[in-house]
Amino acid sequence: MNDIEFVEEQRKLNVNHPPSRKRSGVTKQLILPVICLLALLIISWHWYLAATLEKHLESKSDSPISVNPITDIVTVRIPEDSSKSADNTSLNALFDTVGNFALAPEWQLYARENFDIYAMILPYQIKTILPPAPPVINLLGFYGAMTFSDASKRASKIDFRLTGCRYASPNDQEFQYCNFLRAPDETLSINFHHDKLVMVDYRFAAWRYNGLLKELSTKYGDPRSMTPFYGSATDEPGSGTDMPYLKIWGSGKSARLEIDETDDRTQGFATLSDLDLTFR
């Protein structure tokens, strides 16, 4: 092959397979693996940072906190007993750490400082899960701050009829006392303060005691036991004494429900008292 023929052959090869097309094909083959590698690095780095953030937030509070690295949702579960303590430093620290962090630009700042591209695209959001509200303590459907009209309708619905009402005194109409009757051995006394229910006293035959105790225990859990004021201070459950024990639910902060039998066990009584007028 002479020089002219060689040059002509190379020209034909270049026409059929130009160098630029070869490079273009190689580039296209590399694009997808590079994109996948970058995506993997971004997701892995974000996953690590999300786990680090979760540990940081948990170290600031005893409340359970979780960070979902896929949805970027920070879930905070408020403990059930958080409202029982007036000085809950753990809960205060939780809101200082998580609450302020969620409302301020620190979420985005955290992502930018750590080159968290995933969190820049899908910013962190906070989700607070409150504990279930405790059941409103009631007795026979009566509850704190119930008006006289509503209480009368409730009494009529469960077959109690009004036998009379009176005020504390002719000059004092701030407190009103109303009595209801359903059977000779079932009476109901309801006290009102400025037309708002503040106490319910239910008297019943002793044979109803166990059924009512079981019903209230199912609704509000196991009660606390306490020696009634007429009992001996040395009498304790399991001591062999026959003394009845007061069963109590709730507290004086909102409502106190108690059930007991008279010392001769001929009658039972249940009382809903210490009602905060803002209870419901």
pTM over 0.75, yes/no = no
- Has residue 83 been placed in a domain? yes
Q: Is residue 135 part of a domain?
A: no
Same domain flag for 10 and 106: yes
Q: Does one domain contain both 169 and 251? A: yes
- pLDDT for res 96: 55
Higher model confidence: residue 252 or residue 180? 180
Is pLDDT above 70 for 143?
Answer: yes
**Same domain, residue pair 200 and 88:** no
Residues 100 and 165 in one domain: no
Are residues 56 and 95 both part of a single domain? Answer: yes
Is residue 97 located within the same domain as residue 21? yes
Does any domain span residue 91?
Answer: yes
pLDDT, position 220 = 86
Of 109-118, 160-169, 175-184, the poorest mean pLDDT is in 109-118
Domain boundary among 95, 129, 163: 129
DSSP result, 173-220: EEEEEEEEEEETTEEEEEEEETTEEEEEEEEEEGGGHHHHHHHHHHHH
**Same domain for 28 and 120?**
yes
Average pLDDT over residues 141-159: 91
**Does 199 or 63 have the greater pLDDT score?**
199
Q: Express as a percent the part of the chain with pLDDT over 90.
A: 21
pLDDT range class, residue 239, cuts 50, 70, 90:
very low
Q: What is the dihedral of CA 218, 220, 225, 229, to 10 degrees?
A: -120
Grade residue 95 by pLDDT with cuts at 50, 70 and 90.
low
Where among 82, 99, 129 does a domain terminate?
129
pLDDT at 235: 40
Q: Examine the domain organization and report whether 188 and 100 are in the same domain.
A: no
Mark which of 70, 102, 129 sits at the end of a domain: 129
Whether residues 56 and 118 share a domain: the answer is: yes
pLDDT band at 230 (very low <50, low <70, confident <90, very high): very low
Q: How many CB atoms lie within 10 A of CB 257?
A: 21
Find the domain containing 245 and state its range: 148-273
Per-residue pLDDT tens over the stretch 26-56? 667 778 888 888 889 999 999 998 888 888 8
Mean pLDDT of the 147-158 span: 93
Asked if 177 and 236 sit in the same domain, the reply is yes
Banded model confidence at residue 163, pLDDT cuts 50, 70, 90: very high
For 141-176, the three-class secondary structure string (H helix, E strand, C coil) is CECCCCEHHHHHHHHHHCCCEEEEEEEEECCEEEEE
Total domains in the chain come to: 2
Same domain, 78 and 191: no
- The residue behind tokens 């930018």 is 112
Say if 139 falls within a structural domain: no
Confidence of residue 252 (pLDDT cuts 50, 70, 90): low
Q: pLDDT band at 186, cuts 50/70/90? A: very high
Pairing of strands 65-68, 267-273: unpaired
Q: Is the pLDDT of residue 165 over 70?
A: yes
Predicted pLDDT at 188 = 95
pLDDT at 160: 95
Residue 142 lies in a domain: no
**Would residue 187 count as lying in a domain?**
yes
The segment with the largest mean pLDDT, out of 39-43, 75-79, 84-88, is 39-43
Same structural domain, 94 and 198:
no
pLDDT in the model for residue 87: 43
pLDDT digits (tens, 9 = 90+) for 123-136: 888 887 777 665 67
Q: What is the mean pLDDT of residues 88-98?
A: 52
pLDDT of residue 251: 67
Average pLDDT of the residues of the chain: 76
Whole-Å CA distances, 259 to 46, 139, 141, 204, 249: 57, 10, 15, 11, 9
pLDDT, mean of residues 195-220: 91
